Amino acid sequence: MKTGSLTFRLSLMFVVAVVAVLIIVGIAFNELSRHHFRALDAQALEEKMEAIIQIAQEPGANTEQIKTRWHTLLGAHPDLSAVFLKADGSLFFAEPPQASVPSLAQATEHNAVWEWESDGHMFRALKAQVALPEISAPLAAWLVLDVTTHMHFFAMLERWFWSVLIASTVLSAALGWLVAKNGLRPVAKVTQTAASMSAGSLKERIPLEPVPDELRELITAFNSMLGRLDDSFMRLSNFSADIAHELRTPISNLRTHTEVILAKKRDADVYEENLTSNLEELNRLSGIIDGMLFLAKSDNGLIVPEPVELDLDKVISKLFGYYELLAEDKGVQLKASGSALIFADSVMIDRVVSNLLSNALRYTPPGETIEVNIQDHGRRVEVRVENPGPEIPPEHLAKIFDRFYRVDPARREGDGNTGLGLAIARSLMHAHGGMILCTSENSRTTFTLSFTKSIMDRPDRAATSKHS
């Protein structure tokens, strides 16, 4: 379903708001005006009725004198009529003479004032008792005011209101469109900048200076997204270049060896020697490809641990037995301390710690000691692999877990020196809901594995997450 442009929607909301305000104001003005006229009419009727009663109560006045004065009082108001009835219902006085008692069948009463419509006219009336000296029973007096002019005024007011409302709607629609169009210019600028973005212009950013406050958060998020895209694109470009570089050397070696062997007939020993060399290069290629496939699966969430209860002390002891001969050859000692239980994938944890140990053995000078310390902090378990040796510069610490990243040609990560060992270790830790950190200072480098027990603290819970 198409929702329309933002300019149209803002203009429409502006028109609806204006029309709603005008209608509310119009209704309020109409009701206040009607109330005002009703109050004025009631006041006029009450004043006339008081004057009639005062004339009737003047001392010494007879009936004819009272009628004459009533005629003088009421005759000057053509819209006003009066009817006076005796107790038996007979007519005592009327002004004008043809006036009659109103029929109140369709009348409504507001604060003792009666109101009704008849033959296209609108009337308001007031009833009171008037006592005369010469008549024992008081008279029933009716004052009737013709307020038809008020009806005409409100009818004209209503016509003007609807005319103004229609004109205001059209005008507000035009003004709303102009206001929305001008107000959304920064959005159009953002759209234009976003449309012009390409792989070669990811470093561009949308300036925040001329942007209104409402769009700053959006543009800040957009600029942050561009930064992440630029970083990911650069990593991907570097990764592609690294792949080409890593695969080119073994393939070039294989091709050169093969070309040399095939150049002329040779002894079987020579063929065997070159085939052995080719096998080493093929093993290296296989290691690179396996590492790349593993990382690709990890990036797509296809690496799911199968957790079991692991005693980290036993895991470290088992790996020490594997690396013990290599450590002795290099004159390096292995030392472990601490213990803790976690639920994790045994094969994956072996691979992570093995990568760190092989990496530590590569850079630990002879006569030094590699220390592995296990610390149980309750809901968190840490495994620290610390070795003496050359420090890693601070600017490289955040990048050593990138694929194929090397601080220098002499410092190559584990996993067959392919530069994928630390990247794989980080992926495996992320698969377990943990993390891996590195610090390097005072001629000592420490890799810390951090496991959160609340992530995988029961085998049944971990198995459920695996199948979800």
Neighbouring CB atoms inside 10 A of 357's CB total 24
User: In this structure, which topology does domain 213-299 adopt according to CATH?
Assistant: Helix Hairpins (1.10.287)
List, for residues 17-64, the tens digit of each pLDDT value.
989 998 999 899 888 988 888 888 889 888 888 998 888 888 877 888
Report pLDDT for 331. Answer: 92
Report pLDDT for 419. Answer: 67
Amino acid at 227: G
- Nearest-angstrom CA–CA distance, 15 and 7: 12
- Nearest-angstrom CA–CA distance, 249 and 244: 9
Report pLDDT for 468. Answer: 34
Report pLDDT for 411. Answer: 42
Report pLDDT for 279. Answer: 82
- Nearest-angstrom CA–CA distance, 413 and 447: 13
Q: Determine the number of helices (DSSP H) and then strands (DSSP E) in the chain.
A: 11, 13
- How do the domains of the chain map onto residue ranges? 6-170, 213-299, 308-467
- Unique residue bearing structure tokens 């062997």: 261
3-state helix, strand, coil in the chain (%, to 5): 55, 20, 25
- Nearest-angstrom CA–CA distance, 364 and 61: 134
Query: Which conformational region is residue 4 in: left (phi greater than 0), alpha (psi within -120 to 50 degrees), or beta?
Result: left
Contact indicator for 445, 391 with CB cutoff of 8 Å:
yes
* Residue whose C-alpha is closest to residue 125's, from 82, 74, 78, 69: 82
Q: Is 452 exposed, middle or buried (0-12, 13-18, 19+ CB in 10 A)?
A: middle
Q: Which CATH number fits domain 308-467: 2.30.110.10, 3.40.50.720, 3.30.565.10, 3.90.1010.10?
A: 3.30.565.10
Structure tokens at 119: 């033959």
The answer to whether domain 213-299 and domain 308-467 are alike in fold is no
Contact indicator for 359, 414 with CB cutoff of 8 Å:
yes
CATH number of 6-170: 3.30.450
Q: What phi and psi values does residue 96 have, to the nearest 5 degrees?
A: -65, 165
Tell me which residues of the chain have a pLDDT lower than 50.
1, 409-416, 455-468
- Nearest-angstrom CA–CA distance, 394 and 376: 28
